[in-house]
């Protein structure tokens, strides 16, 4: 894979988007035969004894011993939207919205909701499919293109730390220390070099995950988002370990002991433009546009929770008119 500086390779997408987010076509091109919504998995927490999971407030109010015992009994696992709907007595359908699947009253937190059986359900991560599920999806994508080894991946340019910049450091890494003298010295050093407190200091370039060349280079400008493009074979994403092979892998964090990590592509498409995958950063689902055969295969795969979408569908929070 390599950085793609010819951003007009993605110009066809811009020509087929709608203005705004009234429909999914603010980020997903029109003009394909069919569309599928791939639901990002949520998570559910239960207690090993089957009791009611305490809220954060209730947990903080527990004595230390009870707190430790309760936390030790937590059991967390991924959960589908369909199983969540069963738990809350709602209905999963193509335009379902999480806040209504989990029966969120107006003004309350839809991110963490307790089902009648006492389990706590947490909302899906937006803009991100787990690597293994993206791999399952990519298996089908590869089978429905004539160019499985030639394509483009687009990464949203707004992810923190992705691009380098002038000014204060884009990312700050804190080092814990029990020595108050050492801690004070570190704080003082940061203050001395703080450009906000030293207006005469020359602006300094700070690297991000990507090089300065890529950071300052050409990016794909779409109506709603800016993307850094990479020449990337679609076949690569059929490997669950794709994170280890991409050039936007965060090696700086790895040097600090964090397991390999990389942002999920916001866009993937093959050179023949037979389909496109769009993982909008504010969507709790990934949308795939392509042939009717591709969409049917995705929706039939039991490893993937996906439903067909009609062209022009809205995925806004109020689009769910079934679970009112």
For the ranges 85-89, 221-225, 293-297, the lowest mean pLDDT is seen at: 221-225
Task: Give dist(CA 63, CA 43) in Å, integer.
Answer: 27
Identify the band that residue 206 occupies on the pLDDT scale cut at 50, 70 and 90.
Answer: confident
**Whether pLDDT at 109 is above 90:** yes
Q: Are 144 and 291 in contact (CB under 8 A)?
A: yes
Parallel, antiparallel or unpaired: strands 165-166 and 151-156: unpaired
Task: Give dist(CA 70, CA 229) in Å, integer.
Answer: 46
319, with CB counted inside 10 A (0-12, 13-18, 19+), is: middle
**Both tokens assigned to 60:** 């903080």
**Whether pLDDT at 105 is above 50:** yes
Q: Are 152 and 232 in contact (CB under 8 A)?
A: yes
- Indicate the DSSP class of residue 104: P
Q: Mean per-residue pLDDT for 310-318?
A: 93
pLDDT > 70: percent of the chain:
89
> What pLDDT score does 70 carry?
83
Q: Are 141 and 268 in contact (CB under 8 A)?
A: yes
Identify the band that residue 257 occupies on the pLDDT scale cut at 50, 70 and 90.
Answer: confident
Task: Give dist(CA 163, CA 170) in Å, integer.
Answer: 8
**Whether pLDDT at 176 is above 60:** no
Identify the band that residue 202 occupies on the pLDDT scale cut at 50, 70 and 90.
Answer: low
Identify the band that residue 313 occupies on the pLDDT scale cut at 50, 70 and 90.
Answer: very high
> What pLDDT score does 252 carry?
81
Average pLDDT of the chain to the nearest whole number: 89
For residue range 53-88, what is the model confidence (pLDDT) as tens digits?
988 888 888 888 878 888 888 999 999 999 999 999
For the ranges 102-106, 197-201, 265-269, the lowest mean pLDDT is seen at: 197-201
**Whether pLDDT at 190 is above 60:** no
| Nearest 10 degrees: Cα torsion 52, 58, 64, 65 | -20
pTM (predicted TM-score): 0.87
> What pLDDT score does 115 carry?
96
Q: Are 214 and 3 in contact (CB under 8 A)?
A: yes
> What pLDDT score does 164 carry?
86
Domain ranges of the chain: 2-39+127-164+210-309, 42-122, 166-206
């Amino acid at each position: 894979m390599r950085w793609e500086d010819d951003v007009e390779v993605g110009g066809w997408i811009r020509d087929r988007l709608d203005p705004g987010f009234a429909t999914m076509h603010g980020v997903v091109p029109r003009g394909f035969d069919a569309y599928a919504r791939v639901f990002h998995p949520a998570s559910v927490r239960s207690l090993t004894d089957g009791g009611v999971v305490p809220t954060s407030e209730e947990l903080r109010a527990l004595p230390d011993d009870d707190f430790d015992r309760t936390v030790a009994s937590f059991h967390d696992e991924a959960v589908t939207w369909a199983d969540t709907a069963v738990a809350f007595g709602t209905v999963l359908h193509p335009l379902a919205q999480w806040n209504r699947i989990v029966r969120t009253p107006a003004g309350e937190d839809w991110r963490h909701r307790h089902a009648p059986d006492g389990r706590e359900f947490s909302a899906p991560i937006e803009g991100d499919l787990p690597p293994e599920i993206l791999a399952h999806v990519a298996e089908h994508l590869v089978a429905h293109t004539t160019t499985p080894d030639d394509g483009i991946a687009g990464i949203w340019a707004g992810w923190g730390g992705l691009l380098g910049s002038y000014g204060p450091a884009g990312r700050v890494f804190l080092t814990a220390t029990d020595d108050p003298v050492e801690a004070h010295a570190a704080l003082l050093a940061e203050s001395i070099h703080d450009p906000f407190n030293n207006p005469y200091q020359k602006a300094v370039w700070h690297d991000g995950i990507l090089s300065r060349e890529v950071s300052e280079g050409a990016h794909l400008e779409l109506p709603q988002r800016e993307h850094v493009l990479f020449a990337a074979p679609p076949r690569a994403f059929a490997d669950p370990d794709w994170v280890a092979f991409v050039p936007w892998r965060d090696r700086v964090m790895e040097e600090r002991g964090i397991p390999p990590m990389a942002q999920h592509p916001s866009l993937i498409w093959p050179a023949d433009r037979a389909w496109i995958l769009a993982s909008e950063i504010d969507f709790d689902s990934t949308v795939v546009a392509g042939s009717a055969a591709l969409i049917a295969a995705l929706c039939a795969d039991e490893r993937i929770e996906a439903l067909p979408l009609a062209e022009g569908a809205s995925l806004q929070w109020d689009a769910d008119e079934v679970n009112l």
